Structure 1
Amino acid sequence: MKVIDFKDAKCRHCYKCVRHCQVKAITVQQEQARILTDHCINCGKCMEICPQNAKTFASDMERVKGFLRQGLRTVISIAPSYIGVLDFDRPGQVVDALLKLGFAEVRETAEGAAMVTREYQRIIRENKMPNIITTCCPSVNDLIEKYYPECAPLMAPVVSPMVAHGRYIKKLYGDDVKVVFLGPCIAKKQEAIGDERVAGAIDAILTFEELAIWLDESKIRIFDCEDAPMGNPDPEINRMYPISGGVVQSVIAEEEMDSYHKVFVDGLANCMEMLECLKRGELDHCFIEANVCEGGCTKGPASARWNMSYVKAKIKIEREVSRKAAHDLPDMSSEELSKTFEDRSIKEAVPTEEVIQEILRSVGKYTREDELNCGACGYSTCREKAVAVFQNKAELSMCMPYALMQAESMSNVVMDVTPNMIFIVDSELRIRECNKKGQELLGVGKEEALQRYIFEFMDAGDIEETLRTKETVFHKKIQLEHGRMTVEETIVYIENLESVLVTFQDVTREEKMKEQHYNLKVETMEMAQKVIDKQMMVAQEIAGLLGETTAETKVTLTKLRDSILNEEDA
């Protein structure tokens, strides 16, 4: 099952989760981070550090509410870390708040821890194991079985206090009872629901964060609650389990056993270092309390909302908890508390050196010097990242130096091939950047241009005005090179740089073409006018000739008419 994952669309070019995941159980595909369930140890670090709040957690809260709505007898097993994490005047107020939510009984998981302590003491007395690693922390258990399987035989064959307590409650009240674990750990969910070896002990998991939400919805304030008793006898020193060294203190509380050197290790990096030492055979006869969370369970990923100080939580627990050994322990046999750990390592394909080199070359890394090993992608070395690309855990684009190089290269190409002259000028009118066309305009190289002021080459009045008013100048036509060049000037103020971007677009050719076109129109108009004038003259001449001819014709025809009339009269 998938306990943790990330929301779509919120995860973009960050890789912070990859950098902080020490077992690299995160894949990035199409710029979206995803949890590799088979690789994940559910430490919750990615949830804590995600800057986009893109993580999701598989919540059981509605399932638990469903148990209560159906009237099922539901017992809650509360992790002893509540003493250091939750705020109250008296511990019993937490019990009363949970009873008000509808739980039939509230019992401390430390009751199960007392049973586990007894088993650890038995294993130490038997003195058969070369080293003993505690198995209370499910993340440590996953870490060993998946990534350090050589150390699996050194794991104490005992269930966690949560599972021990769940089994005991079921034995006490019958299999029909629903057992809910309440604590600061998200890995417990995978252990309770996803591990077939302990299936049935726990029916649901609640975190302290979820409890706060539920209490708020129900308008229940812990400080307003009564001081109700726990449903179990006092587990005494076993309530120290959630702080560093708490397991060791519980084990040695009843009697000092010198057959093993007792140490405690917390924090994932420290646990991995300890396991490396075990692999190399550097430790002998050690009883090792291991916890993935630094400071112990009080710094679990589902408790940080309330507890920002491990020291404060540790002091609260130490003040509240008795140092006495627990007595009158529940009747649970070693067989009922046993668990076998095994090799569950992930078998992944390993690329050949040729494939690694091909992947490295695809991101511009042709030599060892090109491998910066900056870690921005989340992997310690470029070669590790190349292997991750081969295993479909990472993408080529995750290489920040290569992406930057590509962006700069593309930017330089655009700057250099554009026909426009581009400058960046600061508030002192010093040239801060210019492209090749700009250098040609100035008649100097880039190195010299960046040491000069823009007013040394041209009138800077418009630039000064924009720096003063911060108002953009759009496509203003000006003359450069003493009138030999006409350009359209655009000046844009750059707020964060207190500078301006100046662009000159050479429109000299277009202006000359416009002038030629205008002159052609003028010549055409003049020629048309001459034709019109000539036509008018011709028309007038024709009209004059037509007038004379008409008069002569009139006289002749009149004479002809008169002659004909005279002949008829005679």
Structure 2
Amino acid sequence: MNTQSPVYTQKTECQDCYKCVRVCEFKAIKIEDGHAIVITEACVYCGRCVEVCPAGAKRVRNDLVRLKYMISSGRNLIASVAPSYIACVASSAQNAFINSFVRSGFIGASETALGAQSVSSVLKENIRYGEINITTCCPVVVEIIRKYYSHLVPLLTPLMSPALAHAKQLKNTFGKDCEVVFVGPCIAKKIEADRNPSLISISVSFEEALSIFGDLKEEDSAEFITERAGAGNYYPVEGGMIRTISEARHADNCYMAFSGVDEVRGVLDSIGGIEKCKTLVLELMACRGGCINGPLSGKNKSFLSKRMNVLQKACERENIVASVFKDITAGWDKSCVNTNVYREEDIAAVLKTTGKSREDQQLNCGGCGYDSCRDFAKAIIDKKAERSMCVTYMRRLAQKKANALIKSMPSGVVIADDSLSVIECNLNFARLFIEQADTMFNARPGLEGANLSKILPANICSIFLNVIRTGNDFFEKDIRVENKFYHCSIFLIEKGHVAGGIFQDITSPMMRKKNVIDKAENVINRNLQTVQTIAALLGENAASTEVLLNSIIESFNASEMREDEDE
């Protein structure tokens, strides 16, 4: 048995989009160090996360290596082929698909629909009249009920799935030493096989099987090693099971079919309010429309064509009478997922750490993957989520850090958009170009919304607009404004939209001293090797160059120290 979960995350591919969290009905995914990890004990293996992951980080366990080993080891393998192959394998290749099992080393292939017919036959004899009966061929639905609606387990009909029933029938016919390989469109069948290795040795997808067969050409007929199935071929579509027990219906009984995890949950949630005076038979399937839309069914056909193909084939074979295998009774255990009770003060404490103390701050935007900020807070308490998942929290945090950095810079800093409207600036920028800067800055922090053209000269504004429009990453120049010179560095933040500028008054005494010191140090660093070479040739006369430059630096540094002491 393969111990790896049928659904897992390839961590290196996860892009932190939280789309899998968003679509998971049971939030069976936790975020660890920014990666979305499947919680095995909470997962129902519906495959929705695999289908929606834009980066392909959610993976389905590939059992192809195991299957090839089983074939090469000469085992007595029989393929139990799900009836949805009619919808998922190209029509021209279906006969060759069935016949290729023998060519690849199998004893042969048989239709899982035979097991479905056995289930329907036994079900008709075991409907609990005057009660609610939940019937399903879907292992996902069974997982949902076992883990999240354990109080409804007694309502499940106590029968094996068609795949398990068929496997047991095959072993009864061909001997216990034969090994059954289920082939179908379902991820959850992998976990069903893992839990029932005495019946199904391995479950693979149609795609995995096709990869062994290679290119398939059209063949006249399909050779199965057992009798052909009839009405069991209706099972892959919603309502197919109910259709096979039509003769057992009574006027006072109600038969209903639902598909899709959200619909299944809605039905299970509402069962408590149903009157038990009538017989109610519910057929539930996790994939919308039935198994023909399974997560491993392939996307080569439309839903309409898939359904039409299955119904047409099933209708053609509806009157085929196949033998019934009745030893398919099963029991269902409960595997409840623990549900925590949350204290209001704990939820409030988490919300406070994400800046959502007030109700109006709880946007419930769903960016984190949860329906509400409160649900997100509960997930953090359960250690299934991280604060960094909250978009608004991270944006505010980034803004605070950016503001703190801008405010702490000794130079003047301004950020403006393509209309020269100020997005943010620091007080030092305002002091460089605005009279009574402190008063204006306090009245309008960051000068947000101010027109940059009324603060800076036209030539500087033109440079701003040029950087934004052309996309030039960086512009640096010393410019004159009235009686002062400024070192101006303008850089692109978002092409066509936003640019930033850093300004230094190089006419101020402090800047003049700093520039001289910087240039002197630059001369020393750039020409040190040359100085050393000349010193070796000319002796003390050349070495005096370095002494002279160092003395300039020391004199300025000493001057600064005296000024600091005077202050």
Name the TM-score class by shorter chain: 0.7 to 0.9
Q: In the aligned structure 1, how far is the partner of 2:392 from the partner of 2:419?
A: 32
SS at match of 2:62: coil
Q: Which residue of 1 aligns with 2:555?
A: none
Cα displacement (A) at 1:45: 0.5
Q: In the aligned structure 1, how far is the partner of 2:386 from the partner of 2:266?
A: 29
Q: Which residue of 2 aligns with 1:509?
A: 509
Within the alignment, does 1:372 sit opposite 2:363 as a pair?
A: yes
Q: In the aligned structure 2, how far is the partner of 1:488 from the partner of 1:235?
A: 85
More moved, 94-103 vs 507-516: 507-516
Q: Which amino acid aligns with 1:272?
A: R
Within the alignment, does 1:157 sit opposite 2:144 as a pair?
A: no
Q: Which residue of 1 aligns with 2:211?
A: 213
Cα displacement (A) at 1:70: 1.5
Aligned counterparts, 1:284-323, within 5 A: 285-307=279-301, 309-322=302-315
Within the alignment, does 1:179 sit opposite 2:180 as a pair?
A: yes
Instruction: Indicate if the aligned counterparts of 1:237 and 1:250 stay in contact, CA closer than 8 A.
Output: yes
Q: Which amino acid aligns with 2:212?
A: W
Q: In the aligned structure 1, how far is the partner of 2:447 from the partner of 2:497?
A: 22
Instruction: Indicate if the aligned counterparts of 2:15 and 2:55 stay in contact, CA closer than 8 A.
Output: no
- CA offsets, 1:299-350, max 9 Å, x none? 100113433x2111001111222266566543523xx211112332122443
Q: Which residue of 2 aligns with 1:460?
A: 459
- CA 486–67 in structure 1, closer or farther in 2 if over 3 Å, else same: same
Aligned counterparts, 1:472-487, within 5 A: 475-480=476-481, 482-483=482-483, 485-487=484-486
Q: In the aligned structure 1, how far is the partner of 2:469 from the partner of 2:335?
A: 69
More moved, 337-346 vs 90-99: 90-99
Q: In the aligned structure 2, how far is the partner of 1:511 from the partner of 1:327?
A: 96
Q: Which residue of 1 aligns with 2:7?
A: 4
Cα displacement (A) at 1:20: 0.5
Within the alignment, does 1:109 sit opposite 2:100 as a pair?
A: no
More moved, 47-56 vs 221-230: 221-230
Cα displacement (A) at 1:83: 0.4
- CA offsets, 1:6-62, max 9 Å, x none? 012222321111111001111111111111111110001000011110122222222
Identity of aligned residues (%): 28
Select 1:277's aligned residue among 266, 270, 290.
Answer: 270
Cα displacement (A) at 1:366: 1.6
Q: In the aligned structure 2, how far is the partner of 1:42 from the partner of 1:468?
A: 50
Aligned counterparts, 1:71-90, within 5 A: 71-89=74-92
- CA 250–342 in structure 1, closer or farther in 2 if over 3 Å, else same: same
Q: Which residue of 2 aligns with 1:202?
A: 200
Instruction: Indicate if the aligned counterparts of 1:261 and 1:287 stay in contact, CA closer than 8 A.
Output: yes
Instruction: Indicate if the aligned counterparts of 1:489 and 1:503 stay in contact, CA closer than 8 A.
Output: yes
More moved, 130-139 vs 63-72: 63-72
- CA 88–516 in structure 1, closer or farther in 2 if over 3 Å, else same: closer
Instruction: Indicate if the aligned counterparts of 1:235 and 1:326 stay in contact, CA closer than 8 A.
Output: no
Cα displacement (A) at 1:474: 5.1
SS at match of 2:502: strand
Q: Which residue of 1 aligns with 2:142?
A: 141
Rg bigger for which structure? Answer: 1
Q: In the aligned structure 2, how far is the partner of 1:364 from the partner of 1:456?
A: 35
Instruction: Indicate if the aligned counterparts of 2:231 and 2:317 stay in contact, CA closer than 8 A.
Output: yes
Cα displacement (A) at 1:455: 6.8
SS at match of 2:180: strand
Cα displacement (A) at 1:514: 6.6
- CA offsets, 1:70-89, max 9 Å, x none? 21111101000010111032
Q: Which residue of 1 aligns with 2:487?
A: 488
More moved, 282-291 vs 506-515: 506-515
Q: Which residue of 1 aligns with 2:97?
A: 94
Q: Which residue of 2 aligns with 1:49?
A: 52
Cα displacement (A) at 1:456: 6.1
Q: In the aligned structure 1, how far is the partner of 2:421 from the partner of 2:48?
A: 48
SS at match of 1:322: helix
Q: In the aligned structure 2, how far is the partner of 1:441 from the partner of 1:169?
A: 88
SS at match of 1:321: helix
- CA 85–14 in structure 1, closer or farther in 2 if over 3 Å, else same: same
- CA 340–467 in structure 1, closer or farther in 2 if over 3 Å, else same: closer
What RMSD, in angstroms, separates the aligned Cα atoms of the two structures?
A: 2.8
- CA 368–119 in structure 1, closer or farther in 2 if over 3 Å, else same: same
Q: In the aligned structure 2, how far is the partner of 1:436 from the partner of 1:55?
A: 49
Runs of 5+ consecutive residues of structure 2 not aligned to the other structure? 435-439, 520-547, 553-567
More moved, 50-59 vs 156-165: 50-59
Cα displacement (A) at 1:251: 1.4
Q: In the aligned structure 2, how far is the partner of 1:516 from the partner of 1:240?
A: 88
Q: In the aligned structure 2, how far is the partner of 1:10 from the partner of 1:514?
A: 48
- CA 454–433 in structure 1, closer or farther in 2 if over 3 Å, else same: farther
- CA offsets, 1:159-202, max 9 Å, x none? 100000000001111111011000000101111212xxx44110
- CA offsets, 1:387-409, max 9 Å, x none? 22222211222222111111122
Q: Which residue of 2 aligns with 1:545?
A: none
Q: Which residue of 1 aligns with 2:221?
A: 227
Within the alignment, does 1:120 sit opposite 2:123 as a pair?
A: yes
Q: In the aligned structure 2, how far is the partner of 1:467 from the partner of 1:380?
A: 38
- CA 515–421 in structure 1, closer or farther in 2 if over 3 Å, else same: closer
Within the alignment, does 1:250 sit opposite 2:244 as a pair?
A: yes
- CA 250–496 in structure 1, closer or farther in 2 if over 3 Å, else same: farther
- Equivalenced residue count is 506
Instruction: Indicate if the aligned counterparts of 1:157 and 1:340 stay in contact, CA closer than 8 A.
Output: yes
Q: Which amino acid aligns with 1:185?
A: C
Q: In the aligned structure 1, how far is the partner of 2:397 from the partner of 2:424?
A: 19
